[in-house]
Structure 1
Amino acid sequence: MKKIITSLVILAAAVSLTACGGKEQSVTYTMESDLNGVIMTDTMVLDAKGDRVQQMTEIVELDMAEVDTTTQSLLVEQYDAIVETYNSVEGVECTSETGEGTYSITIVIDATGDAISELASLGLLQVEGGTDGISLEGTGEALTQSGYTLVEE
Protein backbone atom coordinates (compact mmCIF):
# COMPACT_ATOMS: atom_id res chain seq x y z
CA MET A 1 0.00 0.00 0.00
CA LYS A 2 2.92 2.33 0.74
CA LYS A 3 4.04 1.98 -2.89
CA ILE A 4 0.59 3.06 -4.08
CA ILE A 5 0.62 6.04 -1.74
CA THR A 6 4.13 7.01 -2.79
CA SER A 7 3.16 6.69 -6.45
CA LEU A 8 0.25 9.05 -5.88
CA VAL A 9 2.61 11.87 -5.25
CA ILE A 10 5.54 10.96 -7.37
CA LEU A 11 7.27 14.01 -8.62
CA ALA A 12 10.74 14.12 -10.03
CA ALA A 13 12.23 17.58 -10.18
CA ALA A 14 15.49 19.15 -11.26
CA VAL A 15 17.41 21.99 -9.74
CA SER A 16 16.72 25.26 -11.47
CA LEU A 17 19.80 27.24 -12.37
CA THR A 18 17.84 30.14 -13.80
CA ALA A 19 17.03 33.38 -12.04
CA CYS A 20 13.76 33.88 -10.17
CA GLY A 21 12.58 36.48 -12.68
CA GLY A 22 10.49 35.65 -15.68
CA LYS A 23 7.00 35.23 -16.96
CA GLU A 24 4.36 33.80 -14.64
CA GLN A 25 2.78 30.65 -16.01
CA SER A 26 0.70 27.69 -14.95
CA VAL A 27 1.03 24.22 -16.48
CA THR A 28 -1.22 21.21 -15.85
CA TYR A 29 -0.40 17.51 -16.19
CA THR A 30 -2.74 14.58 -15.65
CA MET A 31 -2.52 10.81 -15.36
CA GLU A 32 -5.13 8.09 -14.92
CA SER A 33 -4.43 4.58 -13.70
CA ASP A 34 -6.25 1.49 -12.48
CA LEU A 35 -4.84 0.16 -9.22
CA ASN A 36 -6.56 -3.20 -8.63
CA GLY A 37 -10.02 -1.83 -9.39
CA VAL A 38 -9.44 1.62 -7.91
CA ILE A 39 -9.39 4.22 -10.67
CA MET A 40 -7.00 7.04 -9.80
CA THR A 41 -6.95 10.37 -11.61
CA ASP A 42 -3.97 12.50 -10.65
CA THR A 43 -3.81 16.15 -11.74
CA MET A 44 -0.67 18.20 -11.11
CA VAL A 45 -0.71 21.98 -11.54
CA LEU A 46 2.63 23.78 -11.52
CA ASP A 47 2.62 27.54 -11.00
CA ALA A 48 5.93 29.11 -11.95
CA LYS A 49 7.74 32.35 -12.44
CA GLY A 50 10.13 31.82 -15.32
CA ASP A 51 11.42 28.27 -14.99
CA ARG A 52 11.18 28.25 -11.20
CA VAL A 53 8.13 26.50 -9.70
CA GLN A 54 6.53 28.62 -6.97
CA GLN A 55 3.61 26.35 -6.05
CA MET A 56 2.50 22.82 -6.82
CA THR A 57 -1.10 21.71 -6.51
CA GLU A 58 -1.95 18.04 -6.82
CA ILE A 59 -5.49 16.70 -6.93
CA VAL A 60 -5.84 12.94 -6.56
CA GLU A 61 -9.29 11.49 -7.18
CA LEU A 62 -10.03 7.85 -6.40
CA ASP A 63 -13.05 6.01 -7.75
CA MET A 64 -13.41 3.01 -5.44
CA ALA A 65 -16.83 1.85 -6.66
CA GLU A 66 -15.42 -1.43 -8.00
CA VAL A 67 -13.97 -2.58 -4.67
CA ASP A 68 -15.85 -3.79 -1.60
CA THR A 69 -16.73 -1.47 1.28
CA THR A 70 -14.15 -3.04 3.60
CA THR A 71 -11.40 -2.23 1.11
CA GLN A 72 -12.82 1.28 0.67
CA SER A 73 -12.74 1.84 4.44
CA LEU A 74 -9.15 0.63 4.68
CA LEU A 75 -8.10 2.91 1.82
CA VAL A 76 -9.82 5.92 3.37
CA GLU A 77 -8.12 5.21 6.70
CA GLN A 78 -4.70 4.97 5.04
CA TYR A 79 -5.17 8.09 2.93
CA ASP A 80 -6.46 10.06 5.94
CA ALA A 81 -3.17 9.22 7.68
CA ILE A 82 -1.28 10.50 4.63
CA VAL A 83 -3.27 13.76 4.75
CA GLU A 84 -2.22 14.20 8.39
CA THR A 85 1.41 13.64 7.47
CA TYR A 86 1.24 16.23 4.69
CA ASN A 87 -0.36 18.73 7.04
CA SER A 88 2.49 18.27 9.52
CA VAL A 89 4.84 19.94 7.03
CA GLU A 90 5.07 23.73 7.08
CA GLY A 91 4.26 25.16 3.65
CA VAL A 92 1.84 22.35 2.77
CA GLU A 93 -1.94 22.39 2.91
CA CYS A 94 -3.70 19.09 2.36
CA THR A 95 -7.43 18.41 2.42
CA SER A 96 -9.51 15.35 1.69
CA GLU A 97 -13.10 14.66 0.80
CA THR A 98 -14.94 11.36 0.99
CA GLY A 99 -17.98 10.58 -1.12
CA GLU A 100 -19.97 7.46 -1.89
CA GLY A 101 -17.27 5.20 -3.31
CA THR A 102 -14.94 8.14 -3.94
CA TYR A 103 -12.09 9.87 -2.18
CA SER A 104 -10.13 12.93 -3.20
CA ILE A 105 -7.05 14.64 -1.86
CA THR A 106 -5.90 18.16 -2.69
CA ILE A 107 -2.30 18.98 -1.82
CA VAL A 108 -0.93 22.52 -2.16
CA ILE A 109 2.83 22.86 -1.72
CA ASP A 110 4.79 26.10 -1.42
CA ALA A 111 7.83 25.26 -3.53
CA THR A 112 9.78 28.33 -2.41
CA GLY A 113 10.47 27.20 1.16
CA ASP A 114 11.66 24.04 2.89
CA ALA A 115 8.50 21.99 2.21
CA ILE A 116 10.01 20.19 -0.81
CA SER A 117 13.03 18.89 1.11
CA GLU A 118 10.92 17.86 4.10
CA LEU A 119 8.40 16.02 1.90
CA ALA A 120 11.29 14.27 0.14
CA SER A 121 12.77 13.21 3.50
CA LEU A 122 9.37 11.79 4.52
CA GLY A 123 9.18 9.79 1.27
CA LEU A 124 6.12 11.71 0.08
CA LEU A 125 7.87 13.40 -2.83
CA GLN A 126 10.50 12.00 -5.14
CA VAL A 127 13.09 14.59 -6.15
CA GLU A 128 16.01 14.36 -8.57
CA GLY A 129 18.76 16.88 -7.96
CA GLY A 130 18.51 19.43 -5.18
CA THR A 131 15.46 20.74 -3.40
CA ASP A 132 16.30 24.43 -3.31
CA GLY A 133 14.82 25.36 -6.68
CA ILE A 134 12.39 23.30 -8.72
CA SER A 135 12.62 23.64 -12.51
CA LEU A 136 9.32 23.85 -14.40
CA GLU A 137 10.88 22.35 -17.52
CA GLY A 138 12.69 19.59 -15.64
CA THR A 139 9.60 18.70 -13.63
CA GLY A 140 7.45 18.62 -16.77
CA GLU A 141 9.91 16.24 -18.44
CA ALA A 142 9.98 14.00 -15.36
CA LEU A 143 6.18 13.94 -15.11
CA THR A 144 5.86 13.05 -18.81
CA GLN A 145 8.38 10.23 -18.38
CA SER A 146 6.32 8.98 -15.41
CA GLY A 147 3.17 8.69 -17.53
CA TYR A 148 1.56 12.11 -17.07
CA THR A 149 0.11 13.97 -20.05
CA LEU A 150 0.42 17.71 -20.56
CA VAL A 151 -3.05 19.29 -20.62
CA GLU A 152 -3.20 21.77 -23.49
CA GLU A 153 -4.92 25.00 -22.56
Structure 2
Amino acid sequence: MSESDVKLYKLQERQFDVEADLYKKLGELQDMRKKIAELKRGKAKDKREKEQHLLKKAEFEEKGLPDKALKSEVKAMKQDTQITKKDAKIKDLERRVIKLEEEIDKLEAELSEAEADVKTHQTGAPAEESVETYQEENYEDSLEPSVLDDS
Protein backbone atom coordinates (compact mmCIF):
# COMPACT_ATOMS: atom_id res chain seq x y z
CA MET A 1 0.00 0.00 0.00
CA SER A 2 1.35 3.39 -0.89
CA GLU A 3 0.59 6.92 0.01
CA SER A 4 -1.02 7.30 -3.40
CA ASP A 5 -3.48 4.52 -2.52
CA VAL A 6 -4.32 6.23 0.75
CA LYS A 7 -5.04 9.47 -1.07
CA LEU A 8 -7.16 7.61 -3.64
CA TYR A 9 -9.25 5.97 -0.92
CA LYS A 10 -9.65 9.28 0.86
CA LEU A 11 -10.90 10.85 -2.38
CA GLN A 12 -13.26 7.92 -2.98
CA GLU A 13 -14.53 8.17 0.59
CA ARG A 14 -15.35 11.84 0.01
CA GLN A 15 -16.99 11.01 -3.33
CA PHE A 16 -19.24 8.31 -1.88
CA ASP A 17 -20.07 10.41 1.17
CA VAL A 18 -21.28 13.21 -1.10
CA GLU A 19 -23.15 10.70 -3.27
CA ALA A 20 -24.94 9.27 -0.20
CA ASP A 21 -25.89 12.79 0.93
CA LEU A 22 -27.18 13.55 -2.56
CA TYR A 23 -29.45 10.48 -2.62
CA LYS A 24 -30.72 11.29 0.85
CA LYS A 25 -31.67 14.81 -0.29
CA LEU A 26 -33.27 13.45 -3.47
CA GLY A 27 -35.38 11.13 -1.31
CA GLU A 28 -36.43 14.06 0.88
CA LEU A 29 -37.32 16.05 -2.23
CA GLN A 30 -39.45 13.21 -3.56
CA ASP A 31 -41.23 12.90 -0.19
CA MET A 32 -41.97 16.63 -0.14
CA ARG A 33 -43.33 16.59 -3.68
CA LYS A 34 -45.53 13.62 -2.77
CA LYS A 35 -46.84 15.51 0.27
CA ILE A 36 -47.59 18.56 -1.92
CA ALA A 37 -49.55 16.36 -4.34
CA GLU A 38 -51.51 14.83 -1.46
CA LEU A 39 -52.31 18.27 -0.05
CA LYS A 40 -53.44 19.52 -3.46
CA ARG A 41 -55.68 16.47 -3.82
CA GLY A 42 -57.15 17.16 -0.36
CA LYS A 43 -57.62 20.82 -1.27
CA ALA A 44 -59.53 19.85 -4.43
CA LYS A 45 -61.72 17.53 -2.37
CA ASP A 46 -62.39 20.30 0.16
CA LYS A 47 -63.32 22.71 -2.64
CA ARG A 48 -65.72 20.14 -4.09
CA GLU A 49 -67.35 19.58 -0.70
CA LYS A 50 -67.59 23.34 -0.12
CA GLU A 51 -69.40 23.80 -3.43
CA GLN A 52 -71.74 20.92 -2.60
CA HIS A 53 -72.61 22.54 0.74
CA LEU A 54 -73.27 25.87 -0.98
CA LEU A 55 -75.56 24.13 -3.48
CA LYS A 56 -77.43 22.45 -0.61
CA LYS A 57 -77.69 25.82 1.12
CA ALA A 58 -79.34 27.29 -1.98
CA GLU A 59 -81.72 24.33 -2.21
CA PHE A 60 -82.71 24.65 1.44
CA GLU A 61 -83.27 28.40 1.04
CA GLU A 62 -85.56 27.72 -1.94
CA LYS A 63 -87.52 25.17 0.10
CA GLY A 64 -87.84 27.63 2.98
CA LEU A 65 -85.63 25.71 5.42
CA PRO A 66 -83.38 28.42 6.89
CA ASP A 67 -81.97 26.20 9.68
CA LYS A 68 -80.70 23.59 7.24
CA ALA A 69 -79.43 26.35 4.94
CA LEU A 70 -77.45 27.83 7.84
CA LYS A 71 -75.96 24.42 8.70
CA SER A 72 -74.86 23.97 5.10
CA GLU A 73 -73.31 27.44 5.09
CA VAL A 74 -71.38 26.65 8.30
CA LYS A 75 -70.11 23.41 6.75
CA ALA A 76 -69.01 25.36 3.67
CA MET A 77 -67.15 27.84 5.89
CA LYS A 78 -65.38 24.95 7.66
CA GLN A 79 -64.28 23.61 4.29
CA ASP A 80 -63.00 27.08 3.42
CA THR A 81 -60.88 27.04 6.59
CA GLN A 82 -59.44 23.65 5.61
CA ILE A 83 -58.63 24.98 2.14
CA THR A 84 -56.76 27.94 3.65
CA LYS A 85 -54.76 25.65 5.96
CA LYS A 86 -53.81 23.39 3.08
CA ASP A 87 -52.77 26.41 0.99
CA ALA A 88 -50.41 27.52 3.76
CA LYS A 89 -48.91 24.04 4.07
CA ILE A 90 -48.45 23.80 0.31
CA LYS A 91 -46.68 27.18 0.15
CA ASP A 92 -44.40 26.19 3.04
CA LEU A 93 -43.51 22.90 1.37
CA GLU A 94 -42.90 24.64 -1.97
CA ARG A 95 -40.44 27.02 -0.25
CA ARG A 96 -38.70 24.04 1.33
CA VAL A 97 -38.57 22.27 -2.05
CA ILE A 98 -36.81 25.27 -3.59
CA LYS A 99 -34.27 25.32 -0.76
CA LEU A 100 -33.74 21.57 -1.06
CA GLU A 101 -33.27 21.84 -4.84
CA GLU A 102 -30.53 24.43 -4.23
CA GLU A 103 -28.83 22.06 -1.76
CA ILE A 104 -29.08 19.25 -4.32
CA ASP A 105 -27.49 21.46 -6.99
CA LYS A 106 -24.58 22.18 -4.62
CA LEU A 107 -24.19 18.48 -3.83
CA GLU A 108 -24.24 17.59 -7.53
CA ALA A 109 -21.47 20.11 -8.18
CA GLU A 110 -19.50 18.78 -5.22
CA LEU A 111 -19.99 15.20 -6.46
CA SER A 112 -18.76 16.14 -9.93
CA GLU A 113 -15.70 17.73 -8.37
CA ALA A 114 -15.06 14.66 -6.19
CA GLU A 115 -15.44 12.32 -9.18
CA ALA A 116 -13.04 14.48 -11.17
CA ASP A 117 -10.52 14.39 -8.30
CA VAL A 118 -10.70 10.58 -8.17
CA LYS A 119 -10.36 10.27 -11.94
CA THR A 120 -7.47 12.71 -12.02
CA HIS A 121 -5.72 10.81 -9.24
CA GLN A 122 -6.25 7.47 -10.98
CA THR A 123 -4.77 8.77 -14.25
CA GLY A 124 -1.72 10.00 -12.38
CA ALA A 125 -2.09 13.66 -13.31
CA PRO A 126 -1.41 16.12 -10.53
CA ALA A 127 -4.74 16.94 -8.91
CA GLU A 128 -5.65 20.35 -7.68
CA GLU A 129 -5.91 20.50 -3.95
CA SER A 130 -9.41 20.78 -2.65
CA VAL A 131 -10.21 23.46 -0.11
CA GLU A 132 -10.61 20.88 2.67
CA THR A 133 -7.21 19.28 2.02
CA TYR A 134 -5.56 22.66 1.86
CA GLN A 135 -7.15 23.73 5.12
CA GLU A 136 -6.11 20.49 6.86
CA GLU A 137 -2.50 20.73 5.70
CA ASN A 138 -2.11 24.42 6.45
CA TYR A 139 -4.07 24.60 9.69
CA GLU A 140 -1.00 24.85 11.91
CA ASP A 141 0.64 27.43 9.63
CA SER A 142 -2.37 29.69 9.97
CA LEU A 143 -2.34 29.71 13.77
CA GLU A 144 -1.18 32.94 15.24
CA PRO A 145 1.32 32.73 18.07
CA SER A 146 -0.34 33.00 21.42
CA VAL A 147 0.77 35.15 24.30
CA LEU A 148 1.98 32.08 26.17
CA ASP A 149 4.42 30.98 23.41
CA ASP A 150 8.11 31.64 24.07
CA SER A 151 8.82 32.45 20.43
TM range (shorter): under 0.3
Q: Which has the larger radius of gyration?
A: 2
After TM superposition, the score normalised by the length of structure 2 is 0.27
